[in-house]
Amino acid sequence: MSPAPRKVKITLVRSLIGYPESQRLVARGLGLGKPNSYVVREDTPSIRGMIRKITHVLKVEDAE
């Protein structure tokens, strides 16, 4: 039996106005829209890659 997958809470802390369209699309792909919105996602390599692309506007913490 494998352990339960880790989860991360991802919060958009800055507006995406003035950032490239590709970064806006990454935020939308994560499920983030407005500043201070958050989502809880499984900690997978694909999600980590999306987070890495827009770390300057996110806050990432472990979900409990």
CA dihedral sign of residues 31, 56, 14, 11: positive
> pLDDT tens across 19-48, in order?
999 999 999 999 999 999 999 999 999 999
**What is the pLDDT at residue 3?**
79
Mean pLDDT estimate for the chain: 94
* CATH number belonging to domain 7-62: 3.30.1390.20
pTM summary value: 0.89
HEC-encoded secondary structure of 6-56: CEEEEEECCCCCCCCHHHHHHHHHHCCCCCCCEEEEECCHHHHHHHHHCHH
- Each domain of the chain, given as residue ranges in start order, spans 7-62
